[in-house]
Structure 1
Amino acid sequence: MVEKFVGTWKMISSENFDDYMKAIGVGFATRQVGNRTKPNLIVTVDDQGILCLKSQSTFKTTEIKFKLNEPFEEITADDRKTMTVVTLENDKLVQKQTWDGKETNIEREISDGKLIAKCIMGDVIAVRMYVKEA
């Protein structure tokens, strides 16, 4: 089921990301860089079922490795230390991050050959769209 996410995805659009970063508490300077960065998302899965999500840009590369439904500690691109769990719900990869009594979700789904990532914090939603590189 996660196989359809596997590949290298190039970002083509990002909407409302600044408001999302504000909502999760990212400072001004980091938001400026975050808004200009268009990372590639590289998704792999090994034969043990361990998924790897690598966000790669000229500014910063982050990588998380995990098994579905198993909580793990994540250091995010903006240096938050979160407890994270990734689940597969209705064909979506749902990444739930909790820290300091807060919670945010990143829902990734494939639609019309594009990977759509919705970053959700309360009523703030950012949408980032990617296309698969050949």
Structure 2
Amino acid sequence: MEEFLNKEYVLQSSENFEDYLEFMGINYFSRKIASTLKMVQCLERNEDGTYTFHFKSKLASSQTKFIPGEEFEETKADGVKVKALITFEGDEMTHVQIESNGRTSKHVRKFYHDKLIVTTTAVGFDKTVTRVYELLIK
């Protein structure tokens, strides 16, 4: 993961994202807003050995601080608290979120030198979300 730290990736394309948000119970207005945001994602390692994953846009931003392989409580952008686990394997970061009702989502982020591809699946959701981000050159 070292080579992907502190790099920003901006959203370029998205498939099935709004359908996923609807499946997750996000209201129409919020789905429309979320679907139009040009999100930027960035992974950082902190001095204490933890990591922070940032989600940024002009309208909203959030961040998740974690230790790879250790379960933690996360508050998603929609305000829902979940049990979460993030692991690293090679150039992939897998992020599993489990809501109190048992609904489970899995986000696999595959890093490349010039892009980031995020695939999202959820138990009971019959589609796969694919979001492609390009490396942001400053």
TM-score (norm 2): 0.88
Alpha-carbon distance between aligned partners in 2 of 1:22 and 1:28, rounded to the nearest angstrom:
8
Q: 1:127 is matched with which residue?
A: 130
Aligned ranges 1:83-94 → 2 under 5 Å: 83-89=83-89, 91-94=91-94
- Structure 2 portions without partners, runs of 5+: none
Alpha-carbon distance between aligned partners in 2 of 1:32 and 1:117, rounded to the nearest angstrom:
20
Share of identical aligned residues, percent?
26
The alpha-carbon deviation at position 90 of structure 1 amounts to 5.4
SS of equivalent residue, structure 2 residue 64: strand
The alpha-carbon deviation at position 111 of structure 1 amounts to 3.8
The alpha-carbon deviation at position 70 of structure 1 amounts to 0.7
Alpha-carbon distance between aligned partners in 1 of 2:19 and 2:93, rounded to the nearest angstrom:
22
Alpha-carbon distance between aligned partners in 1 of 2:76 and 2:30, rounded to the nearest angstrom:
12
Aligned ranges 1:63-102 → 2 under 5 Å: 63-89=63-89, 91-99=91-99, 100-102=101-103
TM-score (norm 1): 0.91
Q: 1:118 is matched with which residue?
A: 119
- Structure 1 portions without partners, runs of 5+: none
Q: 2:2 is matched with which residue?
A: 3
Q: Which moved more, 1:6-15 or 1:107-116?
A: 107-116
Q: CA RMSD in A?
A: 1.5
SS of equivalent residue, structure 2 residue 79: coil
Structure 1 segments (4+ residues) deviating >4 Å: none
How far does the alpha carbon of each residue in 1:72-131 deviate from its partner, in whole angstroms, 9 at most, with x for none?
111111111101010124531000000121100010002463100111113321111111
Number of equivalenced pairs: 133
Q: Which moved more, 1:55-64 or 1:40-49?
A: 40-49
**Is the contact made by 1:42 and 1:54 (CA closer than 8 Å) also made in structure 2?**
yes
Aligned ranges 1:36-47 → 2 under 5 Å: 36-47=36-47
